[in-house]
Amino acid sequence: MHRTLLLAAYIWLTFSGTLHFLVDVVSQYVRHKRVPGPETTLYYGLNTSFALGQVVFGLLCLWLTWQAPALGDQREVTAISFAAAAGWIAITFTFMRYWEPKMNILVFLALLAGATLIR
């Protein structure tokens, strides 16, 4: 059950990061929703780095959980995942006004906490 919850957490992180990138960056760029300027550059840069950071971290952790399941039992790996989640929560509460990224990270955090408690 521990490994299943870890896989669910990292799959959720990868999925929500991909959707965040597609909705907040790609779709707004394609529909020309933002006027070119420094604010637009910062908006796209923040959302791109936030979403792709989640995708890359999620894919790396998925690969590690799949290939070396014993790593998921180590406290260091769990601590790194909690630190990453804390960083993403800090970014969302500081720079993002909408609730969807906050909810996505809280779901990831809940799945990660459940996997940690079951261990």
d(C-alpha 81, C-alpha 10), whole Å: 10
Angle at CA 60, nearest 5°, toward 100 and 30? Answer: 45
Q: List Cα–Cα distances, 56 to 5, 71, 97, in angstroms.
A: 19, 18, 24
Confidence of residue 73 (pLDDT cuts 50, 70, 90): confident
pLDDT grade for 1, boundaries at 50, 70 and 90: confident
Distance of CA 113 to the CA centre of its chain: 15
* CA atoms of 101 and 15, how far apart (whole Å): 12
| Residue 17 identity (one-letter amino acid) | G
pLDDT at residue 85 tops 90: yes
What DSSP designation does 25 have? I
In sequence order, which ranges of the chain are alpha helices (DSSP H)? 2-21, 27-30, 38-67, 75-95, 100-118
Average pLDDT, the chain: 92
Whether 72 has a pLDDT exceeding 90, the answer reads no
